[in-house]
Structure 1
Amino acid sequence: MLDVGAHIEKYAPQNRNKDNFQLTTEQERFDLFAQVVDSINNDGEGLAEISYHDPSGKVIDTLYWHDEIGHLRDVAGLVTKFDYAAYFSLLVVGLYLLRIFAVIGEWPIKPKWAQANLFAAGVLVVTAAAVFIIGPKAVFYWLHEVAFPSGAPWFFYYQDSLMSTAMKAPDLFGGIAAQWFGLTLLVYIVWIYSVGYLAKQKIKSSGKIIHN
């Protein structure tokens, strides 16, 4: 949908650090992207060894130069921190489920889903409005300045970076964000209806309600 292939054909020949990436096949590019993702999810291991090939399978060059490798290792560190945040979130969810369904003196909970939905929608609307008022580009740059070590390079022109070229950054991140939003919305809906249904069953079986 982002027409990354045409983007590569335009900018790869202009790259001042790496040659002939435009000779790679579409499947090779998919494989390279998968290798980069695997590396980022393993603390950046192997980034410097990833190589790209011509259609005959001959190695052309390693994929990234040192500044790109350094940036992606910073990204890997950030991903690890988000993993810890996810584990903490799962713990909170587990404790919440325990509070709803554990039998301690027989107190079932009736969650106030309308308030929860209104709060979630409000956060989404305010966040989206802030991004569009400030400007997506300005927010993107600010997040990089905050998230990554001071002085560490994170901005790369397409003519200097196969990382930016092959990903068509930052356009790709918009597509990823849209997918995350869709998945999050689906999980949220399933969560609400599943927990709501189970809570109702528990309430019916006990005949006692404590509002939460």
Structure 2
Amino acid sequence: MRPFSPNMIGLYRFLWVWLTLLLALWFGWHLLAQFDFLYPVWHDYAGISQNIDKYAPLNHYRHDFELTDRETRFALFHGIVEAIHNHGQGLKELVYQTRNGTVSLLRHSEIVHLQDVANLIDFVNHLALVLGTVWLVITLLIWSKLSAMKREKRIKQSFTRRKDSLLNLTIGLALSIGGILLIGAQKVFYQLHIWVFPANHQWFFYYEHSLMSTMMKAPDLFAMIAITLLILGLAFFVIIQLAINALLSTR
């Protein structure tokens, strides 16, 4: 099939929509990371503070974390965010002060898990560069074809069709979200961890065994981040689509 046939243009547009959404989510992730994924908000208003008060005293390996103030908890979470976006560097240095001295926040198994998270983020960042290159090629192909169609047939078309893009995203997201709800969000969350992380590395932590899990109220925090990320990603998608249509649409 010729690269500029009508069917291929439809395929290019389909791929463009989903590549744009993936890249928009990637942009959204890194933007949220600059604000520590809104952790201070979740700490104060989503039950994380209460979770720490309840489970930190029960921790088998670390003590007195429930006595730390908000600023200490925010600083520790910020340290985790910085570390996982910097190849895992700095995880061992995260500490908090108690009446008995300095205590390391993370146990060895938690450091190993967060290092796995850092490795995953590094992989996704490299993948985003590849997808960004593919996105640029597809963008140029669509623009080139529409420009040629304009010269040959004197037609006017937008680079992307908003209704088609919206329908495409709505169907795809509805099927994805519906599938997650049908299977169960927790089951999906656990299965993804099984697929993504090394089989011999621990990724599930009880609150009584892990301050990391306690201070994140896992997996609740991840659900709140995912919802925020999806909203932000869709906003970026709309902005990118409007900008591309304004810059590259045939006139």
TM value normalised by structure 2: 0.73
Aligned twin of 2:163: 114
1:38 aligns with 2:82: yes
Residue 90 of structure 1 aligns with an amino acid whose one-letter code is G
Q: Which has the higher helix share?
A: 2
Indicate the SS of the match to 1:195.
Answer: helix
Aligned twin of 1:209: none
- Checking the alignment, whether the CA contact within 8 Å between 2:87 and 2:122 is kept in structure 1 is yes
Aligned twin of 2:224: 175
Change beyond 3 A, Cα 1:59–1:119: farther
Aligned twin of 2:125: 83
- Checking the alignment, whether the CA contact within 8 Å between 1:48 and 1:69 is kept in structure 2 is yes
The total of aligned residue pairs comes to 200
Matches within 5 A, 1:110-149: 110-149=159-198
Deviates more, 1:78-87 or 1:7-16: 78-87
Q: State the percentage of identical aligned residues.
A: 34
CA RMSD of aligned residues (A): 2.2
Equivalents in 2 of 1:122, 1:112: separation in Å?
16
- Checking the alignment, whether the CA contact within 8 Å between 1:28 and 1:53 is kept in structure 2 is no
Aligned twin of 2:71: 27
Query: 1:194 deviation in Å?
Result: 1.7
Query: 1:130 deviation in Å?
Result: 0.4
Aligned twin of 1:66: 108
CA offsets, 1:29-52, max 9 Å, x none?
000001111111111112112101
CA offsets, 1:172-201, max 9 Å, x none?
00110011111111011112222122233x
Aligned twin of 2:243: 194
1:99 aligns with 2:141: yes
CA offsets, 1:40-87, max 9 Å, x none?
111111211210124x9x843000111111111111111111111222
Equivalents in 2 of 1:95, 1:194: separation in Å?
17
Residue 30 of structure 1 aligns with an amino acid whose one-letter code is F
Indicate the SS of the match to 1:138.
Answer: helix
- Checking the alignment, whether the CA contact within 8 Å between 2:160 and 2:241 is kept in structure 1 is no
Deviates more, 1:115-124 or 1:24-33: 115-124
Q: Which has the higher contact order (CA 8 A, sep 6+)?
A: 2
Work out which of the residue numbers 18, 32, 41 in structure 1 matches 2:62: 18
Equivalents in 2 of 1:60, 1:154: separation in Å?
26
Structure 2 gap ranges (5+): 1-44, 151-156
Residue 119 of structure 2 aligns with an amino acid whose one-letter code is G
Equivalents in 1 of 2:178, 2:167: separation in Å?
16
Query: 1:17 deviation in Å?
Result: 0.9
CA offsets, 1:81-120, max 9 Å, x none?
11112222222232234335569x8666743343222111
Residue 77 of structure 2 aligns with an amino acid whose one-letter code is F
Structure 1 gap ranges (5+): 205-212
Aligned twin of 2:31: none
Work out which of the residue numbers 32, 42, 51 in structure 1 matches 2:95: 51
Query: 1:3 deviation in Å?
Result: 2.0
